Amino acid sequence: MKLVEGTVDVDDVDAFVAAIDEIASSTDTTIQAFDARYVVSERHLERAVELADRAFERGENVARERAVEILLYAAGRRQITNALELGVSPGENRVVVLVDAADADPRDGPPPNERAAAEAIRDRVLDGVEATLGDYDPERVREFFDVSDAELDVVDGDLEALVLERVALLVVEK
């Protein structure tokens, strides 16, 4: 899994998605773009990938496409329309774009097709490359994942831990 961070001004969400889909298809990778305001950490997306892949292996996936299943897990939602809030929207976006070669073995190092897809995202999709990961909006995250003050107190204010729990709970809620 490789993450590409940056900014993009989206005039047409469908055209943006089509550009990402074309890169994914030409590089044989899965690509999903996230609004950086909702992504609490790299681990958040790693866990979503792990659980989405496990759902496909078990035949328990909700979505037909791997990228959409990853989005569902990252959002902790079973409904695609509800999970789309974590995606890009019209206007200026700070994004984290996940690029993953499904069959890659991490022991072999970064797959060439992941590198090629990441470079294409940087060159053809993003307006600017800058760090966005970890620059999330705590209040937005708390509202989206329905995190209460009491829950935060229990985990000593570790919002990432609660988001990872919501991602994992999607499996149980089936």
For the chain, 174 residues long, give each residue's pLDDT as a single digit of tens.
999 999 999 999 999 999 999 999 999 999 999 999 999 999 999 999 999 999 999 999 999 999 999 999 999 999 999 999 999 999 999 999 999 998 777 677 778 999 999 999 999 999 999 999 988 999 999 999 999 888 888 877 689 989 998 999 887 555
A 10 A CB-CB count for 128 gives 11
Strand ranges (DSSP E) for the chain?
2-10, 30-35, 91-100, 128-129
Owning domain of residue 72: 2-172
Tokens encoding 7: 């900014």
Whichever domain contains 99, its CATH number is: 3.30.2380.10
With contact defined as beta carbons under 8 Å apart, do 18 and 31 qualify? no
Q: Domains in the chain: how many in total?
A: 1
